[in-house]
Amino acid sequence: MIEIIALFFLCKKNGELAAQKGLSPVRWKWYTIAGWLIAEFTGLLLGMLLFGNANLYGLMAMGIVSAFGGYLYVKALLEKKPDTYDDDINKIGVSDLHPPPRRD
């Protein structure tokens, strides 16, 4: 249950970062979920190969650590994307630089 709550907040964080980059937050939230699940199952399989099936706590720990690694991988991909910035200097026209006309 705690894993689902953590995934919710991590998806929210990646969504905010994607919005800052000018990308679709929903798409990157889904990428975060996919990265989490793929890395978790990969970590579980690797743990089964290394430790066997008897050590359940070791397998769960390996899965959680791998899942967080999947989140970090998606976050690293997202951080590599360039930020979008609003270049206000190009929006200023010549008439904007003059004071407003007086009305009598």
Res 82: pLDDT:
86
Which pLDDT value is given to residue 96?
59
Q: Which pLDDT value is given to residue 94?
A: 59
Rg, Å, the chain Cα set: 23
pLDDT value, residue 50? 86
Check if the beta carbon of residue 58 is closer than 8 Å to that of residue 64: no
Question: What's residue 51's pLDDT?
Answer: 84
Across the 104 residues of the chain, what is the mean pLDDT of every consecutive 10-residue run? 90 94 94 96 92 87 94 95 71 64 74
The helix (H) or strand (E) run that includes residue 98 is none
The amino acid present at 91, given as its one-letter code, is K
Is 21 among the domain residues? Answer: yes
CA dist., res. 66 & res. 68, Å (int): 5
Q: Is residue 1 part of a domain?
A: no
Q: Is 24 within a domain?
A: yes
- What does the alpha-carbon distance between residue 95 and residue 99 come to, in Å, rounded to a whole number? 8
Number of folded domains that form the chain:
1
Give a yes or no: residue 103 inside a domain: no
Structural domain contains residue 46: yes
